[in-house]
Amino acid sequence: MLTIDLLRHGALQGGVKYRGTLDEALTPAGRKAMNDVWQQLQDEVDTIICSPLSRCAEPASSWATQAGISCVVEPAIQELSYGDWEGLTAEQIEYAYPGMLQAWRQDPTSMTPPNGESMLDFAKRTQVFLHHLIQEYEQGHVLLVAHSGSIRMLIAHALQAPIVSTRHLSMPYACWSRLSVDNGHISLQFHAK
């Protein structure tokens, strides 16, 4: 059996914004929240796989070094690119692009943020990643350190749920979820622990 833990990065400096591919630093409290989860997992995890953005890669690399395990940087689990929305708050997006954010939240497949990545492309890259992960790591315990969007999408794939279901999954900072894979069958063990 394969266990896949999913950990969202902690809170970031500068408050809540649509960052996507912007590489911004964790707050001390955000890093502590991630460390608290790692403390519970450190004796179980065989491999860490992380997004290349420093809010995921820096803690993941540090933990892997401490534990003497490998840390694989994986671009496929990087956050959705929000294009022209990156670095903006929801209020700023609404001001600049009236109605678009609400429409995207209701049905993220119906439109794409200006100059951003389509939700269908995002779904495809995360689905391919999950398929390869399950093939490569048939057994063991893997920790994925990633983003709210990529983790939501991986959970949706695991549950064979539609893309729009990702808009209904709570994903607080340092959210911890677990998937298990047994003979190709994926199940969600817990979410938002």
Residue 123 token pair: 């779904």
Confidence grade of residue 53 (pLDDT, cut at 50, 70, 90) = very high
Average pLDDT of span 43-53: 97
Confidence grade of residue 193 (pLDDT, cut at 50, 70, 90) = confident
Arithmetic mean of pLDDT over the chain: 95
**pLDDT at 184 exceeding the cut of 90:** no
For each of the domains in the chain, give its residue range(s) and CATH number, in order of start.
2-82+118-190 (3.40.50.1240)
Q: What pLDDT is attached to residue 138?
A: 80
Q: What pLDDT is attached to residue 190?
A: 95
Enter the pTM of the model.
0.95
Average pLDDT of span 85-90: 96
Q: What pLDDT is attached to residue 97?
A: 96
Average pLDDT of span 121-133: 97
Of residues 144, 168, 154, the one with CA closest to residue 123: 154
Round to whole Å and give the CA distance between 103 and 101. Answer: 5
Round to whole Å and give the CA distance between 54 and 21. Answer: 10
Residue 72 token pair: 């694989």
Of residues 129, 110, 136, 126, the one with CA closest to residue 161: 126
Q: What pLDDT is attached to residue 192?
A: 85
Round to whole Å and give the CA distance between 123 and 109. Answer: 10
Round to whole Å and give the CA distance between 85 and 93. Answer: 6
- Residue 108 makes CB contacts below 8 A (sequence gap 6+) with 119, 163, 164, 166, 167
Q: Is 182 exposed, middle or buried (0-12, 13-18, 19+ CB in 10 A)?
A: exposed
Q: Are strands 185-190 and 70-73 parallel, antiparallel or unpaired?
A: unpaired
- Residue 182 makes CB contacts below 8 A (sequence gap 6+) with 1, 2
Confidence grade of residue 186 (pLDDT, cut at 50, 70, 90) = very high
